[in-house]
């Protein structure tokens, strides 16, 4: 995850500090966070995504705008995210409001990526049913050879881009002896962050 123009307030700096500590401790997949959405019937759905940026007060990942989670986000913009970094025994919960990133931001990320990932983004209609995995592989290979022969351009699909989560709540959970864990929380209140503690 890249940290860019991070606000100077404590919860953001604390997030960055733990993130860097986890990386220093050799934590794999530090940028993977589990994001939960709620569908139109009120049922929750959770899945991991890779958060590539913390830009200003937004956690940002990239995905399909027509996937199952995208349908949830269209109906309900409230989301919850969870990171767990066992190498430092810290869990961070973040909650906030999700929206699509500006197109320019998605373009910059798309055109800076490895070609294979972009071909997969073009080939896959995320979350849609397919008869077999081989059909998806065939589509991937077909698009790859069309791009290589110049028949097709490697263009960011309209339904693929960034999602930004403007964080309104953080909980920093640190494991402690006898499970007397430390829970420090921050809730956004206008421009201020209200700090409080929860029992473990
Ligand atoms: C560690 C990890 C990172 C992932 N990163 C992403 C990601 O950045 N974007 C994405 O769309 N899916 C990512 N996935 C796949 C998602 O978990 C999920 O399968 C996919 O987004 C479809 O979810 P949906 O059907 O709920 O929309 C990742 C999976 C794992 C295990």
Who contacts 109 (Cβ-Cβ below 8 Å, separation ≥6)?
A: 52, 62, 162
Distance 149 CA to ligand 1 centre (A): 30
Residue nearest to atom 6 of ligand 1 (CA): 49
End-to-end CA distance of the chain: 29
Closest to 168 measured CA to CA, from 90, 99, 71, 67 = 99
Q: What is the pLDDT of residue 70?
A: 98
| Alpha carbons 11 and 193: distance in angstroms, whole number | 8
Site to probe by mutation for ligand 1, drawn from 50, 62, 129, 164 as the one with most ligand atoms within 8 Å of Cβ, is: 50
Q: What is the pLDDT of residue 26?
A: 98
Q: What is the pLDDT of residue 162?
A: 98
Contact call for residues 161 and 62 (beta carbons, < 8 A): yes
| Alpha carbons 113 and 29: distance in angstroms, whole number | 18
Burial class (CB within 10 angstroms; exposed 0-12, middle 13-18, buried 19+) of 99: middle
Place of tokens 């990526």: 113
What's the alpha-carbon Rg for the chain, to the nearest Å?
Answer: 19
Q: What is the pLDDT of residue 129?
A: 96
CATH of domain 2-114+158-198: 2.30.110.10
Q: What is the pLDDT of residue 193?
A: 97
Parse the chain into domains and list their residue ranges: 2-114+158-198
Burial class (CB within 10 angstroms; exposed 0-12, middle 13-18, buried 19+) of 164: buried
Lookup: tokens for 152: 């097709």
pTM score, whole prediction: 0.97
Residue nearest to atom 22 of ligand 1 (CA): 127
Please state the length of the chain.
200
Q: What is the pLDDT of residue 55?
A: 98
Q: What is the pLDDT of residue 100?
A: 98
Per-residue pLDDT of the chain (200 residues; tens, 9 = 90+): 999 999 999 999 999 999 999 999 999 999 999 999 999 999 999 999 999 999 999 999 999 999 999 999 999 999 999 999 999 999 999 999 999 999 999 999 999 999 999 999 999 999 999 999 999 999 999 999 999 999 999 999 999 999 999 999 999 999 999 999 999 999 999 989 999 999 99
């Amino acid at each position: 995850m890249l940290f860019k123009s991070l606000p100077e307030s404590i919860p953001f700096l604390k997030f960055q500090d733990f993130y860097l500590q986890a990386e220093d401790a050799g934590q794999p997949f530090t940028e993977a966070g589990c994001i939960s959405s709620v569908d139109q019937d009120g049922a929750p759905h959770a899945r991991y995504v890779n958060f590539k940026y913390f830009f200003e007060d937004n956690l940002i990942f990239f995905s399909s705008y027509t996937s199952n989670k995208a349908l949830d986000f269209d109906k309900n913009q409230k989301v919850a995210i969870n990171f767990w970094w066992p190498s430092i025994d810290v869990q961070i919960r973040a909650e906030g409001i999700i929206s699509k990133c500006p197109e320019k931001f998605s373009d910059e990320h798309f055109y800076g990526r490895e070609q294979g990932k972009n071909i997969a983004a073009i080939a896959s209609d995320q979350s849609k049913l397919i008869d077999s995995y081989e059909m998806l592989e065939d589509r991937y290979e077909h698009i790859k050879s069309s791009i290589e022969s110049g028949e097709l351009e490697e263009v960011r699909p309209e339904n693929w881009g960034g999602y930004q989560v403007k964080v309104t709540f953080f909980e920093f959970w640190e494991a402690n002896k006898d499970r007397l864990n430390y829970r420090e929380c921050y809730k956004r209140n206008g421009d201020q962050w209200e700090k409080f503690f929860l029992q473990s």
